[in-house]
Amino acid sequence: MKSLNFKAALFSFAGILMALLCSTSSAMQGPPDSPKYPVELSMTQDELMDKIRGGWAGQVIGCTYGGPTEFKFKGTMIQDYTPIEWDENKMEWYYENRPGLYDDVYMDLTFVDVIDKEGIDAPASSHGYAFANAEYSLWHANQSARYNILNGILPPASGHWENNPHADDIDFQIEADFAGIMSPGMVNPASEICDRVGHIMNYGDGWYGGVYVAAMYSLAFYSDDVELIVNEALKSIPPQSDFYKCISDVISWYYSYPDDWKRTWFEAEKKWSSDIGCPDGVFNAFNIDAKINAAYIVIGLLYGEGDFGKTLDISTRCGQDSDCNPASAGGILGTMLGFQGIPDYWTAGIEKVEYRDFKYTEISLNDATAMSHRHALEMISRNGGEVGEEELVIRVEEPLPVKYEKAFEGILPTGIIDIGYEERTLEIGKMTEYSFDFDGKGFVLKGRVRKSSNDDECARLILDVFIDGEFYESVNLPTLPSERRNDLAWKYTLENGSHEVKVILKTPMEGYRIEMDRVLIYGPA
């Protein structure tokens, strides 16, 4: 009896050991081997057009799928039992009823249009002025950059973190698709375009988000291996940056937990979900930081395993900016598969919208495809490739890291001053100045300008800011929402210590007021 028990135990132990070895083998899988660069990539004109169409269509489909959940799940995933509906009428409904959902598409098209009119080398100023004077509404880094440009702070200063408290936000990450789509297989030329355009509104990790997304689009023309695309594109990001470290961690966790995207989501949440930049996300579950949202794109791509629907669903269920993230993932995968490779279930209904101009533009989905095709042919030609009537040869070179830069260097959020109800409003006939003391290196004063009536008349209030008894700046505060300043006042680079800040409403006007919310305090990292 003992002998039988011993044998049974031995077989049981062997089974456990085998399972562990198999598990370890799975966990030890790593990224695919890099190609031996340079590589000559051949494709036909029709194949190129199909991939470009797939990129733009995948972006629209992903944005539509994630639209209903955008920022409704903050710091938590969307559970499997929560339905996310899809049918052939979804895109048409959003085009007609909520066209602002496609901000990450029509923002892209602003830059596509500038390139179409002025050429691939159009300067940052042209892109900046077109973006700043467009009719659409903007938020976060985009709106801060628009305000800067309209007030004389031009790119790249308009995106720098000392001038733009939202510099690490997702904005350029959701707008960089065009740079990759027009650069098939050519990551480094795509990065050059990202340098000009991305620094309009972002800096550091916020800029790297766009560089990385564009690189993945570019490589999606070259390879149908999602793992290779994700890994090779990361070469375009400086390894010392937090953005690189975040995405590198996500890739590593994928190889450790290849069958459990939720485990990777939890690991990313634990390590990388702290937002130290965006004043709306600091000390808040709301997170529009580029790094963590890029992590959700990569989680969707890796665990989606090339399946279009699975990729969209996972990127969406990661939460936070859950329309933009599946839009990026869907666009990258749509480029890889080509439009013809996207399942009919997802493209059903696109014929109802593909000829319609996106709101605020005179460009449709089909127009975007044609424009990007023209730009791609020029990029192929100018970067050592060959453009024939039917056949194309593209020179694919190893991605090189862009320059290193870091926003909010040496500082971290350390506290909040809640402004009392009686002190929150600066207006004529009441309080016209407010002061606060803090210990640290910097501050952001959150608030907005309001008017008492709903008429169309707009004004500009002037707020004078004094730091430690010395005049710092006069802030122009338009009441027109499209020209607003996201944050009333800020300064990040003070000597660490005790400081006093005073703000004075210099131009009190009947019917207009400044409402202050809170003060964020920053100390040394």
Output the domain CATH number for residue 384: 1.10.4080.10
Q: In whole angstroms, what is the distance from residue 421 CA to residue 417 CA?
A: 12
Q: Are 427 and 505 in contact (CB under 8 A)?
A: yes
Count Cβ neighbours within 10 Å for each residue of 508-525 and write b for 16 or more, e otherwise.
beeebbbebbbbbbbbee
Q: What is the pTM of this model?
A: 0.94
Structure-block tokens of residue 254? 């994928």
Domain boundary among 373, 396, 419: 396
Residue 305 and residue 191 share a domain: yes
Q: In whole angstroms, what is the distance from residue 180 CA to residue 198 CA?
A: 13
In 3-state terms the chain splits into helix, strand, coil percentages (rounded to 5) of 50, 15, 35
Q: Are 174 and 370 in contact (CB under 8 A)?
A: no
Residue 423 and residue 365 share a domain: no
Closest to 140 measured CA to CA, from 337, 289, 247, 306: 289
Q: In whole angstroms, what is the distance from residue 347 CA to residue 363 CA?
A: 19
pLDDT at 295 (0 to 100)? 98
Residue 386 and residue 457 share a domain: no
Residue 276 and residue 127 share a domain: yes
Burial of 258 per CB tally in 10 Å (0-12, 13-18, 19+) = middle
Q: In whole angstroms, what is the distance from residue 507 CA to residue 42 CA?
A: 64
Residue 501 and residue 384 share a domain: no
pLDDT at 201 (0 to 100)? 98
Residue 244: inside a domain, yes or no? yes
Question: Coil, strand, or helix at residue 141?
Answer: helix
Residue 429 and residue 345 share a domain: no
Residue 260 and residue 225 share a domain: yes
Residue 325: inside a domain, yes or no? yes
Residue 427 and residue 360 share a domain: no
Q: Are 460 and 473 in contact (CB under 8 A)?
A: no
Residue 511 and residue 454 share a domain: yes
Q: In whole angstroms, what is the distance from residue 474 CA to residue 296 CA?
A: 40
- List, in order, residues 6 or more apart from 233 with CB less than 8 Å away: 187, 212, 215, 216, 218, 219, 399
DSSP category for residue 166 = T
Residue 488 structural domain: 411-524
Domain boundary among 396, 426, 460: 396
Dihedral of the alpha carbons of 342, 343, 345, 351, in degrees to the nearest 10: 40
> Residue ranges of the chain with pLDDT lower than 70?
1-28, 455-456
Domain boundary among 369, 396, 423: 396
Residue 276: inside a domain, yes or no? yes
Residue 30: inside a domain, yes or no? no
E strands along 281-347, which residues?
Answer: none
Residue 290, CA distances (Å) to 124, 138, 296, 404, 523 in order: 21, 17, 10, 16, 22
Residue 191: inside a domain, yes or no? yes
Residue 147 and residue 62 share a domain: yes
Total domains, the chain: 2
Residue 330, Cβ neighbours under 10 Å: how many? Answer: 34
**Max CA-CA distance within the chain?**
97
